[in-house]
Amino acid sequence: MDLSQKDWKTKLENDPNAVILDVRTEDEWNEGIIPNAILNDIYKGQGFLYKLDELDKSKNYYVYCKAGGRSAQACAIMNQMGFETTFNLEGGFSQWKGDVAFRDEN
């Protein structure tokens, strides 16, 4: 399900069963992330699918990429794999107005 930036953020903040999934590349990830996101680069192909298989399908997944295209694709793949609830962030990280975290350089 595609959600606007505002709806995605509101739903996420009120969801105790939420997991934030970033499907961008590692280079994009290094430019900043939505706090508490886990990285699974959709461009990794089979590796992406293997990582999805390790996730709890009963959780609610809030998925984003840079502009919304890859995350929409990821949500479709996840739904086919049996994930019950996925939310695509319309406009992606490039339009994100919420908090941003950066990976520790240590």
Respond yes or no: is residue 75 known to be catalytic: no
Residue 38, both tokens: 């886990």
Which of 19, 65, 75, 89 is catalytic? The answer is 65
Strands (E) in the chain, as ranges, are 2-3, 18-22, 38-39, 60-64, 85-89
Distance separating alpha carbons of residues 57 and 85, to the nearest angstrom? 8
Catalytic residues: 65
